[in-house]
Structure 1
Amino acid sequence: MNVGFIGAGKVGNTLGKYFEQNNIELTGYYDTDMNAAVEAADFTLSVVYTSLSELVKCSDIIFITTTDNTIQNVWDDIKELSIEGKIICHCSGALCSDVFKGVGEKGAFGYSIHPLFSCSSKTSSYKNLYDALITIEGSQERLQEVEELFKSLGNSTRIIDSTQKIKYHAAAVFASNQPIALAGQGADILEQCGFTREEAIKSVLFLMGHAIENIEKQGLAEALTGPVERNDIMTVRKHLQALSEEEKNIYISLSRKLVKIAKIKNPEKNYIELEDLLGQN
């Protein structure tokens, strides 16, 4: 079985290099940006295709690794070709395999395959893919075959229901993207206190790094510290008074979630007054 890629961006490069490093046979890349296709092919020791139809013809498994808003257009082109027996995949976290409308009628098999990790670099992210969970959704007929492809590389896999795909993706955004917003918010407030930007970022990263370590070692509830966990109403009230309206709204929203976790850690504590302060009651 050989694999071809339509789209030579970060995801296409990352997945292609990952396959190449694990001796999965690649056909190569097609992209409307020929320079990008050349770079990806060079990086993965594969071939550049100047024709979409030729790449499809030569590939058993086709990964559409374009932006989400382009996947439908690519499928509209592919479905006009001879694709019987081929596996067609996209790597969108938000879209399901139903974007491949009519795939079964063409004798092909459609899947959404999403590595649950942050792909930030064309040339180095593949190194982190070994530890990533791969979520898969799509046609039942060859689902096990697709799953076994990634299991053979050492990845954990999870079959996900199409009705849960968008909520799953929202969870990934909470875990991967929103912490960057929190880091930015924390750094902004430290700058208001006289820190340089460099000092602020360094301090925030130190705190966040230890928080992640503690979650890994102790679990969510036991890792929780701070005024909400202590039920320190006076300190929380002072925080709210010191923050801008936007900062306060973020603080309140996240603190409400912290209260729920704090109750698990400290079932004997009464958080009602704190919940009132945060507008939970």
Structure 2
Amino acid sequence: MIENNITINIIGPGKVGRSLYNCFKEKHIKTLLIDKNWDYKNKKLNGIVLITTQDENIIPVWNILQKHDLTKILAIGHCSGYLDSSFFDNIPHFSIHPNFPFSSIKKCHEIKNITWGIEGDEIGITFAKEIINILNGKYVIIPQNKKGIYHLAAVIASNFSYVLIKMAKDLYDEIEIKDINHLLDLSINSLNNIKKIGLKNALTGPVARNDFNTINNERDIFGEILGNVEVYDFFIKLLYKIKEDD
């Protein structure tokens, strides 16, 4: 149980780290924000350690921590989307990854109700759940050796959408239409429909109508302007799979 006398030590004063630090402070949780100049030798950590650095720095930070006294640490975790926490040997461990873009330091109410992917050992997951509850968030539990699959799904849902908009913009550039705001609105409305009624019921367009002439003609346009018709074929195949799924 995370009580007022348990400290959450956040290593990494970036956007995620500072956002969590501010939120814990607002919730009256004892917390420290630790930067690269922290004197680990003379300032022993206790309670929970949460590493919020960039992914490539997480294991190096852990290597530094292992050189010092860890006996008063109850659990250690990190916020990477791809790495699991199994490398934290012989200590309760976890990871919590926000399905949310921290493009800036956020206020506590701005990260309320976001979903976190969590994994770890039994004790670590208990602490992870408590942290998410403090943040008024939701969570999904990931098998520890399946973190890469979880993160790839997040990348496809989030980052790959930028590629789709870029492709649509390139097509508009071809016909000298500059304003793409209505395309963004179209994307948002489509996502909202999926959220409301599911993939299959929300599907519209040539595949939903079995409009083969349009599908074939637009395949040619895709190849002429964007190239890689294999990408178009892959998308069409997936759309048919959505349509035909029970």
Instruction: Pick the TM interval, shorter chain.
Output: 0.7 to 0.9
Change (3 A) 1:238 1:3: same
Using the TM superposition, name which of 216-225 and 57-66 deviates more.
57-66
2:36 pairs with 1:63: no
2:168 pairs with 1:181: no
SS in 2 for 1:136: strand
2:83 pairs with 1:88: no
By how many angstroms is 1:227 displaced?
A: 0.3
2:126 pairs with 1:144: yes
Amino acid at match of 1:115: P
Amino acid at match of 1:226: G
Query: Which consecutive unaligned segments of at least 5 residues does structure 2 have?
Result: 1-5
Change (3 A) 1:5 1:193: same
Amino acid at match of 1:211: S
By how many angstroms is 1:135 displaced?
A: 2.1
Between structures 1 and 2, the one with greater helix share: 1
Using the TM superposition, name which of 128-137 and 67-76 deviates more.
128-137
In structure 1, distance between residues paired with 2:228 and 2:111: 35
- Residue aligning to 1:226: 205
In structure 2, distance between residues paired with 1:54 and 1:175: 44
Q: Encode CA deviations 1:188-229: one digit per residue, 9 max, x unaligned.
A: 111111112xx02x1321111111121122221111100011
Q: Encode CA deviations 1:215-244: one digit per residue, 9 max, x unaligned.
A: 122221111100011111100101011123
Which structure is higher in RCO with an 8 Å CA cutoff and minimum separation 6? 2
Q: Name the Cα RMSD after superposition.
A: 2.0
By how many angstroms is 1:249 displaced?
A: 3.1
- Residue aligning to 1:261: 242
Any residues of structure 2 matched to 1:112-261 within 5 Å, and which? 112-121=95-104, 123-124=105-106, 127-196=109-178, 199-200=179-180, 202-244=181-223, 246=227, 248-261=229-242
By how many angstroms is 1:126 displaced?
A: 5.0
Q: Is the 8 A contact 2:16 2:52 kept in 1?
A: yes
By how many angstroms is 1:54 displaced?
A: 5.2
Change (3 A) 1:238 1:166: same
Amino acid at match of 2:70: I
In structure 2, distance between residues paired with 1:91 and 1:193: 43
2:33 pairs with 1:28: yes
By how many angstroms is 1:4 displaced?
A: 1.6
Q: Encode CA deviations 1:45-84: one digit per residue, 9 max, x unaligned.
A: xxxxx424456x2441111111111111111110111112
Change (3 A) 1:131 1:54: farther
Q: Is the 8 A contact 1:27 1:58 kept in 2?
A: no
SS in 1 for 2:57: helix
Change (3 A) 1:193 1:21: farther
Amino acid at match of 2:94: Y
In structure 1, distance between residues paired with 2:206 and 2:238: 13
Change (3 A) 1:95 1:206: same
By how many angstroms is 1:247 displaced?
A: 5.2
Using the TM superposition, name which of 150-159 and 204-213 deviates more.
150-159
- Residue aligning to 2:3: none
Q: Is the 8 A contact 1:91 1:114 kept in 2?
A: yes
Q: Is the 8 A contact 2:7 2:29 kept in 1?
A: yes
Q: Is the 8 A contact 1:119 1:125 kept in 2?
A: no
Query: Which consecutive unaligned segments of at least 5 residues does structure 1 have?
Result: 33-49, 268-281
How many residue pairs are counted as aligned between the two chains? Answer: 238
